[in-house]
Amino acid sequence: MLEAPLGRLRGIGPGRARALERLGLRTVGDMLEFLPRRYERAGQVRPIAALERQSRDLQRVRGRVAAVGGHRPRPNLHITQAAVQDGTGTLWAIFFNQPYLVERLRPGTDLVLTGRVEIRYGRLEMHNPQYELDPADDDGRGGLLPVYPATAGLSQKVLRASVRQALDVGRDAVEEFLPPALVDRLQLPRRDEAIAGIHFPEDEETLARARRRLAFEELFLLQAALALVRRRYVEDAEGIAHRPDPEALKRFYDALPFTLTRAQRRVVADVLSDMAAPRPMHRLVQGDVGSGKTVVAAAAIFNAVCSGCQAAMMAPTEILAEQHAASLQDLLGRLGVRVELLTGRLPARRREALLEGLASGEVHVLVGTHAVLDRQVTFRRLSLAVTDEQHRFGVRQRALLAAKGFSPDVLVMTATPIPRTLALTLYGDLDVSVINEMPPGRRPVRTRWLRPSQRGQAYRFLAEQVARGRQAYVVCPLVEGSEDGGAKAAVDLHRRLVRKLPHLKAGLLHGRMSGAEKQEVMRAFRDGEISVLVATTVVEVGVDVPNATVMLVEDADRFGLAQLHQLRGRVGRGSAESYCLLIAEPTTPEAEQRLRVMEQVHDGFEIAEQDLRLRGPGEIFGTRQHGLPDLRVADPFRDLELLELARREARRLLEADPRLR
Ligand code: ADP
Ligand code: MG
C-alpha cells in the first residue's frame, strides 16, 4: 500500500497528483513521510461578534456567505470580497488574485474561515483566510493543524486532505523497524502511531510523543551507522601497534622551538597511547584556532615514521596543504624525515618521482589536498592518516584515505569549536581530545568594531603597525551571491589600497587566482616581502604567519560569528599584541550583536554557543557545507538528551548484534 501511487487515491486527480509530484511526493508512503514544518492552533470557532479585534492570532469563524463580488482595480490585481454572516455579525473575507472564488463562494455556501482579523474602515475583515467549504470536516474543537513546508501551489487544505487520505489507506502498512523491546523499554509510540500523531495530533502531548519517537529513530539510525563505521575501522580492524620510542620522542621535543603546553602534552599522550594499541586509532583533536594542533600532528607523524611506517596528511585547500608541508618540514626535516607535497597541479615528471618515492618508502610523509586520495597514490606502508579541518571532509573521504593503508591510525583535527551536542552527531564514531589551553604569552586579540566613518583611522593604525615591521590582513566584504567568491571586490580594494598607500606593499589573494599565483603570494607574505595581504575569505582557514598583527575586516556585519572568529584567529599567533578591526554599519540587531560578541568574547567555544543562540540551530544546521547529516525531525542542539540516549542504545544494540542481523 505504501508504494501505491497517490493518483489512485480518492480525491486526488491527475492535476493534483502532478502538483504533489513536484514536491517529490509520488506514493502513499512519500505522503506519510512528508512532515509538517509547524502547526497552527486554529482555536475555537468564535461568533463573529466575539472576534478579538486587536489580536494578531489566527481566529476562526463559521458562517454562511451572504454576498460575493469581484473587481479588478488594476490590471494585475483581482479582489474577491465575500460577506460572511453567522447571525451575530458580518465578516468580510477578502481574497487577492483568486477570481474563481467568486464562483466557488456562492451566496448560501457554508464555510469555516481561519485567519487574522483586520479592521478596515470599521469593517471586520480577514485577508486570504483559509477556508473550508465542508465544515462537517471540521469538528470545531480547534486542535492543531499541520502546516507543510512547501506547497507547489497546493493549499494547506489540499495537502492536509491528501495526508488524511494517505493515512486512511496506508497507516496499517507502516512498519515498526526498531527492536520491539527497545520501543517498550523507552515507552515510544509505535511508528504508525507516531506518523499519524505528527500529522494530526489530538493535543500537544500526542505531538510531543510522536515527535520524540521520530527524532529518536533518526538519531538512533545515525548513531548506529556511526557505531558500525567505528566497529569496522576501529574495533574489528587489525591495526599497527606503533611501539612508542622514548628516545625518539625526546629528540622530537628537543628539536622543537618551544615547549608544549600541558594541554598539548596531554593530547599527544592520548594519541601516542592510541597508536601503541593494536587497534587503529580513530581520534578527533579539537582545539581553538592557534591552540597548536599542528605540532600534535607532527608528534604522531614522527611516531609513525620512527616505527618504519609512512603518514599522510590531508588539508581542504592548497594553501593550507602547502603550509602544513612547510610546518612539518620545519618540525621534522632536521630529524631526518622526508616530507613531500602533492597537489593537483604538480608537473607530471615530479609527480611520478614522488609516487615512486611513496611506493618505495623513501618519502615518509605525504601532505596534500584531495589529490592524496587519487587511486594512483600508493604507499609502501601507510600507518597514519591525518586530516585537518575535518568539517570539510566527510566520513567517506576519511574512509577512502584509510583504505590506502593497512587500517591506518586516523587522526582528525578541527578548529571549528563545536558544542558537544554537535560533536556527538558528527563525530559519534570518534574519540575526542581537546586542546583547551593556548600557548603561553598569547594575549587576546584586541577587537574593535568601527563605523565606516572611522575607516581612515583604521587604515592609519594598520599603516603604523606596518611601519613597526608588522604585517596585516585586509579581508574584503562578502559579496552575496557573487559567483567569483568576492574576487572582484578584492581586486578593487587592492587597487585602491595600492594607489592610496603605495608604501604598504599590498599583495592580493583570492580564489580566482591559479594555485601557483596563490602560493607565490603566500610565500611573499610569509617572507615579509608583502606587508599587507588583501584577501577574500580564502585566508579564513589555518593560515599561519605569526608576524601578522592586524586583521581588518571590511563590511564585517556580513560575516557570521564563526567566520569572524576564524579570521581573527589569523592574528595573535605570535607574542606581540594583535588587533582585529571590524568595519561595519550593521543593519540588523543580530548583526550588531555579533559585532559586540566579537568585541567581548575570545573563547571559540563560547562564540560557537553565542552563534547558536543568535542564529538558531536551523540556520547552522541547515547548511550542507558543514557536512551535517540531513535530519528532518531531530534537532541535535535541543535534543541533546535524546541524542545521548540514541547513542547509548545504538551501541548497546551493536554489542548484542554486531552485524545488525
Ligand atoms: P592551530 O591549532 O590553529 O592549527 P598552529 O598549530 O598553527 O595552531 O599553531 C599556532 C602557532 O602557535 C604556530 O605559530 C605554532 O608554531 C605556535 N605554537 C604551537 N604550540 C606552541 C607552544 N607550545 N608554545 C609556543 N608556540 C606554539
Ligand atoms: Mg592549523
10-residue mean pLDDT series, the chain (661 residues): 90 90 93 90 80 84 94 92 94 94 92 90 91 60 76 84 93 94 95 96 91 94 82 72 88 93 96 91 86 94 96 86 90 95 89 96 93 87 84 62 76 74 65 87 91 95 95 85 74 91 89 84 92 83 83 92 87 89 92 93 81 60 46 77 88 87 80
What secondary structure letter does DSSP report for 171? G
Shortest-distance atom of ligand 1 to CA 287: 2
Q: Can you tell me which residue has the cell 581537546? A: 434
Whether ligand 1 lies within 6 angstroms of the CB of 309 is answered as no
> Which residue, by CA, sits nearest to atom 17 of ligand 1?
292
Task: Say whether 374 sits in a helix, a strand or coil.
Answer: coil
Please tell me the distance between residue 416's alpha carbon and the centre of ligand 2 in angstroms.
11
Query: Grid coordinates representing 582?
Result: 571590524
Whose alpha carbon is nearest atom 23 of ligand 1? 260
Got the DSSP string for 210-264? HHHHHHHHHHHHHHHHHHHHHIIIIISS----PPP-HHHHHHHHHHSSSPPPHHH
Ligand 1: residue whose CA is nearest its atom 5: 292
DSSP 441: T
Q: Which of 294, 438, 547, 565 for mutating ligand 1's site (highest number of atoms within 8 Å of CB)?
A: 294
Q: What is the pLDDT of residues 254-288, one digit of tens each?
A: 999 999 999 999 999 999 999 999 888 888 898 88
Looking at residue 626, its amino acid is H
Given a contact cutoff of 8 angstroms between Cβ atoms, the answer to whether 58 and 189 are in contact is no
Cell of 420: 558537544
Closest C-alpha residue for ligand 1 atom 27: 439
d(CA 511, CA 503): 25
Ligand 1 touching residue 414 (CB < 6 A) = no
Task: Tell me the three cell numbers of residue 251.
Answer: 629528540
Q: What is the pLDDT of residue 346?
A: 86
Instruction: Pick the atom of ligand 1 nearest to 569's CA.
Output: 3
| Ligand 1 within 6 A of CB of 293 | yes
Task: Return the best residue to mutate from 262, 295, 411 for the ligand 1 pocket (most ligand atoms within 8 A of CB).
Answer: 295
Ligand 1 site, residue 258, Cβ cutoff 6 A: yes
Residue 23: other Cβ atoms inside 10 A: 18
- For ligand 1, atom 18, the nearest C-alpha belongs to 292
Predicted TM-score of the model (pTM): 0.65
- Please tell me the predicted confidence (pLDDT) of residue 542: 61
Q: Which ligand is nearest to the CA of 290?
A: 1
Dist CA 298 CA 331 (whole Å): 7
**pLDDT reported for residue 611:** 77
CB distance 568 to ligand 1 below 6 Å: no
Provide long-range contacts, Cβ within 8 A and 24+ apart, for 478-484.
478/537, 478/555, 478/558, 478/559, 480/558, 484/510, 484/511, 484/512
Task: Tell me how far apart the alpha carbons of residues 584 and 594 are, in angstroms, rounded to a whole number.
Answer: 11
Q: Is 573 in the pocket of ligand 1 (CB under 6 A)?
A: yes
Q: Write out the H or E segment, with its range, that includes residue 33.
A: none
**Apex CA 545: angle with CA 539 and CA 546, to 5°?**
135
Long-range Cβ contact pairs of 248-251 (< 8 A, separation 24 or more): 248/302, 248/303, 248/306, 249/299, 249/302, 249/303, 251/335
The Å distance, Cα 380 to ligand 1 centre, comes to 31
Q: How far is the CA of 340 from the centre of ligand 2 (A)?
A: 18
Spatial separation of the C-alpha atoms in residues 302 and 304, rounded to whole Å = 5
Ligand 1 atom with the shortest distance to the CA of 296: 6
CB 604 near ligand 1, within 6 Å: no
Cα dist. 59→3, 46, 143, 413 in Å?
Answer: 38, 8, 12, 53
| Of the candidates 202, 140, 135, 192, the residue with the CA atom closest to the CA atom of residue 168 | 192
Q: Is the CB of 566 under 6 A from ligand 1?
A: no
Determine whether the shortest distance from the Cβ of 437 to ligand 1 is under 6 A. no
Instruction: Give pLDDT, residue 178.
Output: 94
Name the grid cell of 101. Answer: 472564488
Answer whether 476 contacts ligand 1 (Cβ < 6 A). Answer: no
Most informative mutation of 565, 573, 578 for ligand 1 (most atoms within 8 A of CB):
573
Counting ligand 1 atoms within 8 A of each CB, the residue from 260, 327, 411, 544 with the most, and so the one to mutate, is 544
Which atom of ligand 1 is nearest the CA belonging to 260?
A: 23
CA of 258 to the centre of ligand 1 (A): 9
C-alpha 117 to ligand 2 mean position (Å): 57
| Ligand 1 near 261 CB (within 6 A) | yes
269 Cα distance to chain centroid: 31
Q: Residue 296: nearest ligand to its CA?
A: 1
Residue type for 209, please? R
CB 28 within 8 A of CB 166: yes
Mutate to test the pocket of ligand 1, among 258, 416, 540 (most ligand atoms within 8 A of CB): 258
Rounded Cα distance between 206 and 416, Å, is: 38
How far is Cα 172 from Cα 107, in angstroms, rounded to an integer? 41
Per the listing, cell 500526542 goes with 206
What is the structure's pLDDT at 138?
46
> CB of 271 within 8 A of CB of 443?
no
DSSP letters of 411-436? EEEE-----HHHHHHHSTTSEEEEE-
